[in-house]
Amino acid sequence: MKKHLLLGQTLAFDGNPMDDWQGAVRHDSAGGVLVADGVIVAVAGGAALRADHPDAAVLDYGDGLITAGFVDAHMHYPQTPIVASWGKQLIDWLNTYTFPQEMRLADAGYARQVADTTLDLALAHGTTTLCSFCTIHPGSVDAWFEGAAARGMAVVGGKTCMDRNAPDGLRDTAQSAYDDSKALLDRWHGQSRATYAITPRFSPTSTPEQLTALGALWAERPDALMQTHLSEQLPEIDWVRGLFPQARDYLDTYEAYGLLGARGLYGHAIHLAPREIDRLAEVGAAVVHCPTSNTFIGSGLFDMAGLAARGLRIGLATDTGGGSNFSMLRTMAAAYEIGQLRGTALHPAQLLWLATEGSARALHMGGRIGHLGAGAAADITVLDLASTPAIAQRVARAADIWDAVFPTIMMGDDRAIRDTWVAGRRVVR
């Protein structure tokens, strides 16, 4: 059994720092992580681990910060080629950029190319798990899971279903959405490190018949996840109100068709009504904060403090390509900035937890990914806390670990990623 011992500063969590960050964090300035057979065996003092395991191959990162790999809980890999496109809000964004780009993934070879590019960019930015919408083309789902399996990555994905308010080349039907999704779920869910998510894009692009069909599939396969969008922009909410006049609110357009549940992932969730918050909390569903996207396309300010206080599962995500960056560090920075605008400054411990443990819990993978602890997959990111001259000069004045970490959160990019490990294998140096 080949063992690796990673030495450096270690940062792990014993609880939810959204409640009490001081009691939830374990930081060791001279820590170690023992890895074997793709799994974390132990996290403890580096000297003790080195003495107890003299046969382990040692990688000494000095004052590098060893954390769990980042988890991106909501993104669109097909949109990687159009990331950072100029000047549109949601509905115009879809029509101008997204739909023409997604049509191109009818070509399975092109879909694999885009999937490979996305996965490699994620790893270069320290992200070891992503939850992605694919396109209506089953081949786009195969490309996503095949690319992830080739890299040993744990990913989530699903065929995006739309049978109205989309171009001809991107519409399926209620029946084909059910049939394709069921076949893909049977093919991929639980294979290698793949998790399938039943994926209606959002209620404006699905008829009640399609939502009913997908709700029926989820009832048949409650072990799957379900991902969609919710209350991203005010014009979108008005559109939903016109399409579903009988619905009590936006969330009701999912709830009425069996698409509200504990394993549901609801992206954005910015402009929620009180009833929606109550129901999401009651069923234990997850909402996913996409801060760079929310500012880039002008959606609004997510209420992190309010929703966390209600006990909701909250993930953090890039939302590429509405989000303007592949970096979870930049995503954490944007979440901090939005928190400031809402009157609540998130602590660095809370930001790192959201990008790892919090997102893993949203995906119902808590303890298995996004976790620096014994028994978790050895998906690990090592941060250089002085990766640029600007960051280094600030860290030289740091008073404690949080004062040293925060400049990398706010100013760091892929240069701050010293190493990335996936399932115990070093993939980025």
Q: CB neighbours of 286 closer than 8 A, spacing ≥ 6? A: 73, 264, 265, 266, 312, 313, 314, 315, 361, 362, 363
Q: What percent of the chain has pLDDT over 70?
A: 100
Confidence tier at 181 by pLDDT (50, 70, 90) = very high
Position with higher pLDDT, 313 vs 323:
313
CA-based nearest residue to 194, from 134, 136, 137, 254:
134
115, pLDDT greater than 70: yes
pLDDT given for residue 429 in this prediction:
66
Task: Return mean pLDDT, the chain.
Answer: 96
238, pLDDT greater than 80: yes
pLDDT given for residue 89 in this prediction:
75
Tokens of 163: 């049978």
Q: What percent of the chain has pLDDT over 90?
A: 92
CA-based nearest residue to 131, from 272, 332, 267, 231:
267
Superfamily of domain 3-68+370-428: Urease, subunit C, domain 1 (2.30.40.10)
Residues in the chain: 429
Backbone angles phi, psi at 201, to 5 degrees: -55, -60
CATH number 3.20.20.140 given to 70-362: yes
- Report d(CA 125, CA 420) in Å as an integer: 8
Confidence tier at 1 by pLDDT (50, 70, 90) = confident
184, pLDDT greater than 90: yes
Average pLDDT over residues 312-337: 95
Tokens of 381: 């990111």
Q: For the chain, how are helix, strand and coil distributed in percent, rounded to 5? A: 45, 25, 30
Confidence tier at 69 by pLDDT (50, 70, 90) = very high
Delimit the CATH 3.20.20.140 region(s) of the chain. Answer: 70-362
Residue 59 pairs in a beta bridge with 6
Helical residues (DSSP H) of 131-173, grouped into ranges: 138-151
pLDDT given for residue 23 in this prediction:
87
pLDDT given for residue 323 in this prediction:
82
Note the pTM of the prediction, 2 decimals.
Answer: 0.97
Average pLDDT over residues 38-54: 97
Q: Which residue's entry shows tokens 């879809």?
A: 94
Residue type, 86: W
Pairing type for strands 57-68 and 39-45 reads unpaired
Sheet holding 417-422, edge to edge: 39-45, 25-36, 3-13, 57-68, 380-383, 417-422, 425-428
Helical residues (DSSP H) of 85-126, grouped into ranges: 90-93, 99-103, 108-124
Confidence tier at 94 by pLDDT (50, 70, 90) = confident
